[in-house]
Structure 1
Amino acid sequence: MTVLRDYAASVTQPSLGQSAALFDEVASPDGTLRTAWKRLAAEAVDLTLPELNRVGGEITRLLGDEAVVYTPPGGEQRSWRLDPVPLVIAADEWAVLEKGLAQRAELLNAIQLDLYGPQELLSRGTLPPSIVFGHSGFLRVVARTRVDHQRQLVITGTDLGRTPTGEWQVLADRAQAPSGIGFAMENRRVLSRVLPVAYREAGLHRLAPFFQALRVSLTQAAPHGRDNPRVVVLSPGPTSETAYDQAFIATTLGFPLVEGSDLVTRDGAVWMRVLGRLERVDVILRRVDADWSDPLELRGESQLGVTGLTEAVRRGSVTVVNGLGSGVLENPALLPFMSAMCEQLLDEPLRLAGVPTVWAGTPEGRDQVIDRLDALDVRRIDPPFEVDLARDALVAAIVAEPYRFVGQERATVSVSPTLDRGILQPHALTLRAFTLRHGSSYRPMIGGLATAAPIGTAPDQVGVSKDVWVLKESPDEPDQGLLDQLPVSQARAPVTQVPRVLDDLFWLGRYAERVEDLLRLAIVTHELAEDFQGRPHSSGGQTLSVVAGTLRSLSPSAYDRADFEGDLRSLLLDARRPGSVAQTVARLKEIAQSVRDQVSPDLFRVFGAMDRARGALAANPHGWQIGESAGRMLTDVLALHGVTGNMVRDEGWHLMEIGRGIERSLQLCHVIGPTLSARRGLDVDRDLHHAVLQASESAITHRRRHRGVVRGASVLDLLLLDETNPRSLLFNLRAIDASLATLPGSSGSTRPERLVDDLLEELDRLDVADLLATEGDHRPNLARFAHATAQHLMRLSDAVGEVHFATGPVPRSLAFSTVGAGA
């Protein structure tokens, strides 16, 4: 017997306890597989438990390599989890659910249009006014506007659970900024890679056409008369709960991922800041809650929104998806009135019932909720919905403001076998379905995002996700039921980046180079320590002391100077150590997360490989593992350079290269200053020259040119003045100068360009013999040169930020507005 068949046979056994009465997504009541599962290939159905655990391990590795993360409300960021057993739904079963989802999205849109327009639901008494006006999601500032709101509810999310009889019921509606589409697509990508045969032969609907339809719908949501409209994805930032989901959508759809500071309102319209100018924004896919979206008219303390956005919405110059105020539709107090509202607005019976809910805003409802306090889940109508009060305090709160509370029957959902601690166990399952306004109607995504959690936990608790496989009725059925896409303008969209993103890419280049240079120096230090840490008075031991001291100057350490092994372990593993490899990699990851829509997913696989190398070092106490892990990490960071090397040569790439050039030049100064500015004897100086060449990846070049003879003059000439050596100061300054010239804000005379010119002139006058001149045992000219050049490079870095990353308002004419002219 295989693991799934074993599971199915066990559903009739008493060992399943409370789950036996629940609807099981895989097993029929007679202990056989459900029809949908019987249609799957043997590769899916006949998996053994060891094979299933292997697949689970591959899933974890792939998600880790792509840095797929999620931050639960009030919690810390954690890795995204995906179960190897999908939720499989037959075509005929989905067809029934699909109709209900389409109707519900249409109903929610109609409710929103009414509440912000004629308000007939209120005037006819179908919906109590206190449910609407007492809810924080109802925004009076956009009510009764004359703007056409027909398209403001473009995409909805519906959280569903099955009753014991197998019928789907609505647990909650998500209308403000429904998240999870990106996670659903990521789940599909991963599962199709670890179960390729099962996926290929299952005959299920692909998700890609839904994303294509979403792109069309967002583009067509632009205000009338806008050709080739600009769409942006507005994010709270890389630390938000669903930052990965937001970046995935932006990347897949090809829209800029922006934050509130990247946008500005002018003349009643929204504009995006780019280098030296503003560009008009027509559609905003909003992932910032409405009340944080405009500090001028909504929450004044918000730093996430766009000042003046509400006025731009009222004028109709920009479309916000979903519209400001759509949060009112997430009010659980609407659930008892959905059937009546559907009859009034759509003249249809409600197809998808909601979880039984009692609103406490009437005397009868209040008494019923209080009387059944132990049997109901009491929730607020506003976020946070969960109530954490003692019984007496809860009763007092309900009596004081009854309209703010609902009592809901405890939702009973289905179960699905889930890999938990190495075995399959039944977990409670919920499904988030997504519905898109496509053309003139609503189309549900044929699929979705399922979540499984241990039985007994709250339905909204974070569990493990599942891919949703909806089987086709026939092989020739079009994916997502979409034969053709609606037309979209074929005009080439301008590729522009906001200053915040350019700043991040600049520092991405700097941190990537810093990691590489630290690792090279650490490897040299470890090699010396392996040979000479027991011989401190030998020439190699003295060389080790100098090189290790240089490394400590870049990353201060509390370790004893003789504890080279502990110091190097700390450098690679301790993220709290200033300037360490671990801390720099952590910062590099943070920046990569914030520009996820700009970089290849391969970049995150590099991080995954680096994490595994660090994990191997943490698990291995032997000294040789230090060099092994450092070498693997160096290989990985070199792969990172290869990934970024495939980027389009736009402003972002050039700024990343500028950052890399500045950091490489800085690190060179930080190394040659302490190591070569003193005389320590012929043998020690020779060893230090070799160490510097190795740390600067120039040893082979020097050996070929000088036949193994190492002198200070030849080393400095190669590292400072050789225009063909990519590691030399001259090479990098010329590369920085060339990249600066490509930037829109450069004129040939800007401060960054002047500073580079000064450095190039200094190198043109430089005499290596003068640098090597000695006074006693010191070379003061070399020390002064290294220090002065490093300070000059720091000023250059600051100047690049001041000129190219400034986010202040674009200058305006005193006589008239120049925004419309593309200022």
Structure 2
Amino acid sequence: MSQSQSPSIGQPTVPAASDTLEYSPQPGLLDETRAADGSVKPGWQYLLQSVGDLGPEVMRQREHKARRILRDDGATYNLYGKPGSPSTSWELDTVPYVIDSEDWAGIEAGLVERSELFNLILRDLYGPRDIIRHGALPPEALFGHGGFLRACQGLQMPGEQELILHAVDIVRRADGSVCVLSDRTQAPSGSGYVLENRTVMSRVFPSLYRDSHVHRIASFYHRLRLKLISLSPSGDIPRIALLTPGARNESYFEHAYLANYMGFPMVQSGDLVVRNGFLWMKSLEGLKRVDVLLRRVDDESCDPVELRADSQMGVPGLLEVVRTGRLVIANPLGSGVLENPALLKYLPAISMLLLGREPRLDSVQTYWAGDHRDLAFINDNIRSLIIKNTWRGSNEPSVFAGDLDETQLQALLARIHRYRHQFVAQEKLAKSYTPAFNGSGLEPRPTLLRTFSVATDNSYTVLPGGLTRIGTSLDGQFISMQEGSPSKDTWVTASEPERAPVPGLAPEKRHFSGESALDSPPSRVVENLYWMGRYAERADASMRLLRTVFVMLNGEDPISADAQRILLQTVSEITYTLPGFTTATAAQLADPEAELMQIVRDGERVGSVRSTINSMLLAADESKELLSTDTIRVINDVRDALDNLDGDLAGGLASAPEEALDPLVTALAGLSGLTQESMIRGMGWHFIEMGKRIERAQQTIATVKGLMGTVSGEMEQSTLLTALLTSMEVLITYRRRGREKRGIELGLELVLLDSRNPRSLLFQLERLQEHLVELPRPGKESGELNAESRALLEASTLVKLSTLPQLLQVADQRRPELEARMTQLADLLREFSRLITDKHFDHRSGPQQLFTSFGGTAPGVLNAGLPGAGERG
């Protein structure tokens, strides 16, 4: 095969020697691919041979495909402090981490034992505290830790397991054994990314994945789902929800992905309320009782009444509902105390007390500054140690003391001595290495594995694999997702194909089509869909008029100064970038480039194209769990086109800027089509369509009023009518019908009164009436029309009773009837929108925060009470 020929994905290849990829471990480093005698481990042999045969060019193609799939899935991870966009694409190295079944069996047994031990510790620390009474753990290590919540004393979950999910970070040591670096027990993250990595790798390397006999992972998530269902205190079919901090959280993609995969609604604090001793979710159909919460919010932030008073991510009164046994939270509140690294020092003694044996898996050697002998050791050996705060909530990063200068080192020692019980020191372990593809070859990278266990009826089940993270370079021993460390799929391989799945287990790839997975989504999610529809339509209408203006300004046929002034003023009015051209001087109107470019790309200017699309993208992120995979893919197309906008507009008006807007217009059109063809006709669809129809009607009214409200000369009038018809996509229809009649009357008939035109004003009002009858109607209603029905009926009647000759009457170079009618219709539509949002989205009657020290809007709340949001003009 020549280099120009690429083998199809999944097909065996026999490339020339020059096309192969060779992997050479670095001398002196522990390499996972090699046995003690230097030979390639059997589990790695087939993988390295297959990857080597593919060669660098094919591997680059596979890597590109993997990135495309991740991008289409919307897989992101928020890197705090990174300039620009808050989220970045999830990084996946295309060479998996391989562990054979025999090796994994020993690791798995140790992980099950560790989860059982930590479960016993959690139950004891909030119960009898035998480990303290028997001297296995100093009292200061518990009571001085920020993760110990006294308010949770005595709380117990149903069944034998308190710890439902447990994550463990492990590394391989030089002797081949594994060592635990840390435990995650509050809200362990990463399992959703494991699922995404596996989905991507099975698509990018289908034959390699199949022939490697990789253990499937879907049963782990099925068991998690069954466990959560079994925890419900209600005898009815339980409602389980996933509690997320919101779209700005670092792993928000994972939250939405897991919620969709397991069929749970995803909620934020504002979606929940405690009433009558129960926890309820606010939905369009009313309050729905929640029985189990799978939380991704830290302990102390879950209840601002009893825990952290300034938290905006919690629900007031939540802990009291748990205390009465009417709600189960997984993992239970207070489980963050198990993340105290000082526990690792005392774990062997604790295990002897609770299990009668020391743990199978060793923990990293840990020294607690609260112990006098350990403090002396830390003083003498600090430059070779990693210093950590015992409480992750302190947000104090770990530091390798050997990297500090003398001044920094002395300051650190002073802090350790002053706050002895808050610091531990750990030995710096050399990590093992695995091969990674760097774009041209394979090179070793340091490796860290996080794996997960879930509680079953009487023990724990371990995920066969996990989330492998690697260093960003050969010598990058510090591995952190916040530093941009890539991930790997982890393959636990067997010598023969895995047996058939247990009947009833979920398949490897389980897809939910938006709302079909969710019986009653939170009203906040539906509200964001409504604003997503409005912002998408506003951006579309703005860009269509802008494209028309750009073409006319650069066209061969010159336009008069009067026509140019009206066009530019209308641009300012429909984009709400006021005052803009409405107060511009004659010189500014003659040279409009600077203002037009700002209207398109200034993200800080409210009403600009970029600002409007950013608002749409934020609304889409907040309602991601109701969007199909194809919809997310198109939303990412919009995001990409927006990112490329500045480069496409670099030449200003001289370089055909209308073409720079084409990708955005096309992507938004695709999004509109998908909502029609791929979205379940539930409440989410009705509200996104209502938002779209309200905004399109408002934009049509504003455009007609701006372009047709003033009477100009014949040439100017022709220019403005052409602009109206072009931006409304009816110019071709106008020309065809123009054989019978032409002029402004025909143009207004198409734009305002033609019910067959999907962009006409009458079409929008008729669709709004259809959606209105499908909305929930709380309580019994009489035959009397409600306020929103009356407003919509009045608007529709005004349009239908309009006569074009009357609208086109002229007085003092204006069309007062047209302007008055458009103003009246705009007011009615604003009132209709206000009534709809107040009735279905306003939750001001709910409980308020007792105290808050943070300014701004609570995380996850979009457009709630935002002055003029979508209602300007």
> For residue 721 of structure 1, what is the amino acid of its counterpart?
L
Q: Does 1:502 align with 2:526?
A: yes
1:117-136 mapped onto 2 (5 Å cutoff): 117-136=127-146
1:533-548 mapped onto 2 (5 Å cutoff): 535-537=558-560, 543=563, 546-548=566-568
For residues 568-624 of structure 1, what are the alpha-carbon distances to aligned partners after superposition, in whole Å with 9 as ceiling and x for unaligned?
655544423432222222111111111111111222211332344445554455656
Deviation at 1:219, TM superposition (A): 1.1
Where 1:311 maps in the other structure, the secondary structure is: helix
Q: Does 1:316 align with 2:331?
A: no
Instruction: Rate the CA distance shift 1:810–1:325 in 2: closer, same or farther, 3 A.
Output: closer
Q: Does 1:686 align with 2:695?
A: no
Task: Decide which of 91, 95, 104 is 1:94's aligned counterpart.
Answer: 104
Contact 1:160 1:169 in 2 (8 A): yes
Deviation at 1:456, TM superposition (A): 3.5
Task: Measure the CA separation in 1 of the matches of 2:797 and 2:55.
Answer: 70
> For residue 222 of structure 2, what is the amino acid of its counterpart?
Q
1:313-352 mapped onto 2 (5 Å cutoff): 313-352=322-361
Task: Measure the CA separation in 1 of the matches of 2:815 and 2:500.
Answer: 75
1:739-750 mapped onto 2 (5 Å cutoff): 739-745=771-777, 747=781, 749-750=785-786
For residues 259-313 of structure 1, what are the alpha-carbon distances to aligned partners after superposition, in whole Å with 9 as ceiling and x for unaligned?
1111111222211112252111100001111101001101111111011111111
Instruction: Rate the CA distance shift 1:786–1:25 in 2: closer, same or farther, 3 A.
Output: farther
> For residue 119 of structure 1, what is the amino acid of its counterpart?
R
Contact 2:56 2:439 in 1 (8 A): no
Task: Decide which of 445, 455, 479 is 1:459's aligned counterpart.
Answer: 479
Where 1:232 maps in the other structure, the secondary structure is: strand
1:375-524 mapped onto 2 (5 Å cutoff): 375-383=384-392, 384-386=395-397, 390-420=408-438, 423-453=441-471, 454=473, 455-460=475-480, 461-478=483-500, 485=505, 495-524=519-548
For residues 226-262 of structure 1, what are the alpha-carbon distances to aligned partners after superposition, in whole Å with 9 as ceiling and x for unaligned?
2210000111111111111111111111111111111
Contact 1:160 1:431 in 2 (8 A): yes
Task: Decide which of 38, 57, 65 is 1:50's aligned counterpart.
Answer: 57
> For residue 685 of structure 1, what is the amino acid of its counterpart?
Q
Which residue does the alignment assign to 1:38?
A: 45
For residues 70-103 of structure 1, what are the alpha-carbon distances to aligned partners after superposition, in whole Å with 9 as ceiling and x for unaligned?
1235554322211122112212111111111111
Task: Measure the CA separation in 1 of the matches of 2:840 and 2:217.
Answer: 39
Q: Does 1:199 align with 2:209?
A: yes
Where 2:626 maps in the other structure, the secondary structure is: coil
Task: Decide which of 62, 70, 76 is 2:69's aligned counterpart.
Answer: 62
> For residue 628 of structure 1, what is the amino acid of its counterpart?
E
For residues 156-188 of structure 1, what are the alpha-carbon distances to aligned partners after superposition, in whole Å with 9 as ceiling and x for unaligned?
111111112332211110000001111111122
Instruction: Rate the CA distance shift 1:108–1:710 in 2: closer, same or farther, 3 A.
Output: farther
Contact 2:20 2:54 in 1 (8 A): no
> For residue 625 of structure 2, what is the amino acid of its counterpart?
D
Instruction: Rate the CA distance shift 1:385–1:438 in 2: closer, same or farther, 3 A.
Output: farther
Please, which moves more after superposition, 787-796 or 81-90? 787-796
Which residue does the alignment assign to 2:113?
A: 103
Where 1:240 maps in the other structure, the secondary structure is: coil
> For residue 400 of structure 1, what is the amino acid of its counterpart?
R
Instruction: Rate the CA distance shift 1:635–1:303 in 2: closer, same or farther, 3 A.
Output: same
Which residue does the alignment assign to 1:817?
A: none
Deviation at 1:543, TM superposition (A): 4.8
Q: Does 1:589 align with 2:609?
A: no
Task: Decide which of 290, 296, 299 is 2:305's aligned counterpart.
Answer: 296
Deviation at 1:154, TM superposition (A): 1.1
Q: Does 1:634 align with 2:653?
A: no
Contact 1:233 1:256 in 2 (8 A): yes
Contact 1:113 1:150 in 2 (8 A): no
Which residue does the alignment assign to 1:269?
A: 278
Which residue does the alignment assign to 1:814?
A: none
Q: Does 1:754 align with 2:760?
A: no
Equivalenced residues, count:
791
Task: Decide which of 578, 589, 593 is 2:606's aligned counterpart.
Answer: 578
Contact 2:306 2:317 in 1 (8 A): yes
Task: Decide which of 554, 564, 572 is 1:552's aligned counterpart.
Answer: 572
Q: Does 1:189 align with 2:213?
A: no
Task: Measure the CA separation in 2 of the matches of 1:23 and 1:203.
Answer: 26
Instruction: Rate the CA distance shift 1:639–1:415 in 2: closer, same or farther, 3 A.
Output: same
1:14-33 mapped onto 2 (5 Å cutoff): 16=26, 20-27=27-34, 33=40
> For residue 181 of structure 1, what is the amino acid of its counterpart?
S
Task: Measure the CA separation in 2 of the matches of 1:447 and 1:417.
Answer: 17
Task: Decide which of 230, 236, 244 is 1:235's aligned counterpart.
Answer: 244
Instruction: Rate the CA distance shift 1:536–1:682 in 2: closer, same or farther, 3 A.
Output: closer
> For residue 116 of structure 2, what is the amino acid of its counterpart?
E
Instruction: Rate the CA distance shift 1:207–1:356 in 2: closer, same or farther, 3 A.
Output: same
Deviation at 1:33, TM superposition (A): 4.2
Which residue does the alignment assign to 1:667?
A: 699
Identity value in percent:
33
Provide the TM-score with structure 1 as the length reference: 0.90
Contact 2:545 2:571 in 1 (8 A): yes
Task: Measure the CA separation in 2 of the matches of 1:415 and 1:353.
Answer: 20
Deviation at 1:64, TM superposition (A): 2.6
Task: Measure the CA separation in 2 of the matches of 1:2 and 1:170.
Answer: 41
Contact 1:127 1:337 in 2 (8 A): yes
Instruction: Rate the CA distance shift 1:4–1:300 in 2: closer, same or farther, 3 A.
Output: farther
Task: Measure the CA separation in 2 of the matches of 1:757 and 1:636.
Answer: 33
Which residue does the alignment assign to 2:733?
A: 701
Where 1:372 maps in the other structure, the secondary structure is: helix
Instruction: Rate the CA distance shift 1:686–1:518 in 2: closer, same or farther, 3 A.
Output: same
For residues 721-759 of structure 1, what are the alpha-carbon distances to aligned partners after superposition, in whole Å with 9 as ceiling and x for unaligned?
222322121221121122122111465633322221221
Q: Does 1:789 align with 2:800?
A: no
For residues 746-779 of structure 1, what are the alpha-carbon distances to aligned partners after superposition, in whole Å with 9 as ceiling and x for unaligned?
6563332222122123223322211100113221
Task: Measure the CA separation in 2 of the matches of 1:450 and 1:146.
Answer: 33
Deviation at 1:668, TM superposition (A): 0.4
Instruction: Rate the CA distance shift 1:572–1:409 in 2: closer, same or farther, 3 A.
Output: same
Contact 1:8 1:33 in 2 (8 A): no
Task: Measure the CA separation in 1 of the matches of 2:838 and 2:462.
Answer: 47
For residues 170-218 of structure 1, what are the alpha-carbon distances to aligned partners after superposition, in whole Å with 9 as ceiling and x for unaligned?
1110000001111111122222333333223322123333222222121
Task: Measure the CA separation in 2 of the matches of 1:448 and 1:380.
Answer: 26
Contact 1:7 1:27 in 2 (8 A): no
Segments of structure 1 that go 5 or more residues without pairing to the other structure are: 487-491, 812-823
Where 2:625 maps in the other structure, the secondary structure is: coil
Segments of structure 2 that go 5 or more residues without pairing to the other structure are: 1-15, 400-406, 507-515, 848-873
> For residue 255 of structure 1, what is the amino acid of its counterpart?
F
Task: Measure the CA separation in 2 of the matches of 1:177 and 1:5.
Answer: 43
> For residue 631 of structure 1, what is the amino acid of its counterpart?
D
Task: Measure the CA separation in 2 of the matches of 1:708 and 1:64.
Answer: 51
Task: Decide which of 729, 734, 755 is 1:723's aligned counterpart.
Answer: 755
Contact 2:526 2:687 in 1 (8 A): yes
Which residue does the alignment assign to 2:295?
A: 286
For residues 483-535 of structure 1, what are the alpha-carbon distances to aligned partners after superposition, in whole Å with 9 as ceiling and x for unaligned?
6549xxxxx997112221121111011112112222322332233233148x3
> For residue 25 of structure 1, what is the amino acid of its counterpart?
E
Deviation at 1:135, TM superposition (A): 1.0
Task: Measure the CA separation in 2 of the matches of 1:640 and 1:493.
Answer: 21
